[in-house]
Amino acid sequence: MAEKKVRVGVFGIGRGRMFARQAAAMEGVELVAICDQREKPMREFAAQYPGVATYTEYERFLEHDMDAVVLANYATEHAPAAIQAMRAGKHVQSENIAVKTMAEAVALVRAVEETGKIYMYAENCCYMNTVQEIRRLYAAGELGEFRYGEGEYVHPVSPDEKIRLSPTWDHWRNWLPATYYCTHAMGPLMYISRTRPVQVTGFEVPYDFEDPTCTQTAKRSDTAGIIICRMDNGGYVKLLQGNLKCHLNWYRIYGNRGSAETLRHGDTASIRVRKEPWEKGEEEPVERIYRPEFPEFHDLASRTGHGGGDFFVVHEFIRAIRTGEPPYLDVYTGLQMSCVGILAHRSALNNNATYEVPRFRDPAELKRWENDHLSPDPADPTEARIPASTLGEIEKPPEVRASFERRARELCPDWYE
């Protein structure tokens, strides 16, 4: 007998369109509902997927008869939406970032534990073909024990693209501190090495008053975030993310018997594995460069975005729902990788002090962080506010705001309907 389909709803029609496409095409999954306040893209979606219910309000959407929701709403509003969905009996997959504050992290853990629902953090970079292959090599013992790793997610965009991606003055992309969006850099290193961060130090390359992608847009946070973490096996990782001028998504792992990295240029879907001459097998080359296949679903995954990662996040979520077994990217792992960004910003604001990363399974540590509402969100109460930049609040001349609002209306009319 055929298995009952998993009925999925998607919240957010930007990035959410990818999840909707995946869910609609995947065997054993049925896309049943979508929610977004933007009417034009919703009308277009409804024409393309006539059987899918459309909602403009999240509360109404959660009343829909479905098993799971995928959260692709604003990056800084995932935790409250996830908690609400789990309390409404739905499994949850959350886009990046998992939480905006440490207090939200505590509330999220408690909601997962209380409801028993599957929660998966959708860090798609863990499932790139390159990352899956380095994980396989590491698990097979080919690289020895993890000692050091580097992850980079550098994503510069033109001033117009910046406005298109964040078309309202207080859109999260305009004020999110440079370290917060750290899991594209961190996730693969944890996934490969099976280590977790225990201590974090952060640095930020300041807001650039000479860069039009800062000065001609609504951006008020720093240019890039650098994070150093000590991991639970004594190794270290260094993460880089932000808007420096070289688009890159790159990883390197050093074990004590060899190293592996994704290629920085040329075929970036390839990896380079290196072993020193005195440590390699007789027939083994010192260096191998090759493009790995996905370990499974190669044809399906090759056709999706983010190096195939977009296929696997949906696949893993559905597998977890079907088996009842939490995914690798469960609430504890998702929060460990995500909270590093929050703590690193605090470190950067505080003369690079180090912070301990909480163990989210420990009720005493949850208690310690439960009232920590510090937030860079301009919508939050001033008593809980921290600056988004290490330079303090970035003031913008009124003419920049006026020109931003004019350009945003030209580029993204459906945000202003």
Ligand X SMILES: NC(=O)c1ccc[n+]([C@@H]2O[C@H](COP(=O)([O-])OP(=O)(O)OC[C@H]3O[C@@H](n4cnc5c(N)ncnc54)[C@H](O)[C@@H]3O)[C@@H](O)[C@H]2O)c1
Q: Which of 8, 13, 102, 126 binds ligand X (CB under 6 A)?
A: 13
| Min separation Cβ 306 and ligand X, Å | 5
Taking residue 153's Cβ as centre, other Cβ atoms within 10 Å add up to 22
Residue with Cβ nearer ligand X (31 or 228): 31
Nearest residue by C-beta to ligand X?
14
Distance CA 102, CA 385 (A): 13
Q: Tell me the window of 68-76, 83-91, 247-255, 317-325 that interacts with ligand X (CB under 6 A).
A: 68-76
Question: Is the Cβ of residue 36 or residue 152 nearer to ligand X in the bound state?
Answer: 36
Minimal distance, residue 75 CB to ligand X, in Å:
3
> Could you give the 3-state DSSP secondary structure of residue 219?
coil
Q: Which is nearer to ligand X, 36 or 222 (CB)?
A: 36
Closer CB to ligand X, residue 32 or residue 228?
32
72/310 Cα distance (integer angstroms): 13
Instruction: Please identify, using beta-carbon distances, which residue of 53 and 391 lies nearer to ligand X.
Output: 53
Candidate residues 23, 75, 231, 237; the one interacting with ligand X per rule CB under 6 A = 75
Confirm or reject binding of residue 80 to ligand X (CB under 6 A).
no
Q: Transcribe 320-353 into DSSP letters.
A: HHHH-PPPTT-HHHHHHHHHHHHHHHHHHHTTT-
The least distance separating ligand X from the CB of residue 243, rounded to whole angstroms, comes to: 15
Between 137 and 182, name the residue whose CB sits nearer to ligand X.
182
> Closest distance between ligand X and the C-beta of residue 94, in Å?
8
- Residue 166 structure tokens: 């964040």
Q: Is 35 in the site for ligand X (CB under 6 A)?
A: yes
Give yes or no for residue 327 binding ligand X (CB under 6 A). Answer: no
The long-range contacts involving 156-161, CB below 8 angstroms and separated by at least 24 positions, are: 156/213, 156/243, 156/244, 156/245, 156/246, 156/247, 157/213, 157/243, 158/213, 159/212, 159/213, 159/216, 159/217, 160/407, 160/411
Token pair in block for residue 102: 């440490």
Residue tagged 């997959």 (tokens)? 93
- Measured from the Cβ of residue 372, the count of other Cβ atoms closer than 10 Å reads 17
Binding-site size for ligand X (CB under 6 A) equals 17
Query: Which of 242, 202, 248 minimizes the C-alpha distance to 224?
Result: 242
Give me the DSSP letters along 17-47: HHHHHHHHHSTTEEEEEEE-S-HHHHHHHHH
- Which range touches ligand X (CB under 6 A), out of 71-79, 82-90, 141-149, 325-333? 71-79
Q: Which of 6, 26, 36, 188 binds ligand X (CB under 6 A)?
A: 36
- Count of CB atoms situated within 10 Å of the CB of 252: 20
- Residue 79 found at the interface with ligand X (CB under 6 A): no
Query: CB–CB of 230/236 below 8 Å?
Result: yes
Return d(Cα 183, Cα 171) in angstroms, integer: 20
- Confirm or reject binding of residue 37 to ligand X (CB under 6 A): yes
Q: Which of 124, 259, 375, 390 binds ligand X (CB under 6 A)?
A: 124
Give, as ranges, the residues between 136 and 175 that touch ligand X (CB under 6 A): none
**Of the residues 14, 80, 156, 387, which one makes contact with ligand X according to CB under 6 A:** 14
CB of 331 vs ligand X, minimal distance in Å: 16
If one asks whether residue 96 binds ligand X (CB under 6 A), the answer comes out as yes
21 within 8 A of 2, measured Cβ to Cβ: no
Based on the shown chain and the rule CB under 6 A, indicate whether residue 196 belongs to the binding site for ligand X. no
Give the single-character DSSP code of 294. P
Work out which of 21, 22, 52, 58 binds ligand X, going by CB under 6 A.
Answer: 58
At its nearest, how many Å lie between ligand X and the CB of residue 275?
Answer: 32
Interface of this chain with ligand X, residues 284 to 323, rule: CB under 6 A:
306
Question: Of 26, 70, 72, 85, which lies in the binding site for ligand X, with binding defined by CB under 6 A?
Answer: 72
Residue choice 23, 70, 83, 95 for contact with ligand X (CB under 6 A): 95
Distance of CA 54 to the CA centre of its chain: 26
Residues that bind ligand X (CB under 6 A): 12-15, 35-38, 58, 72-75, 95-96, 124, 306
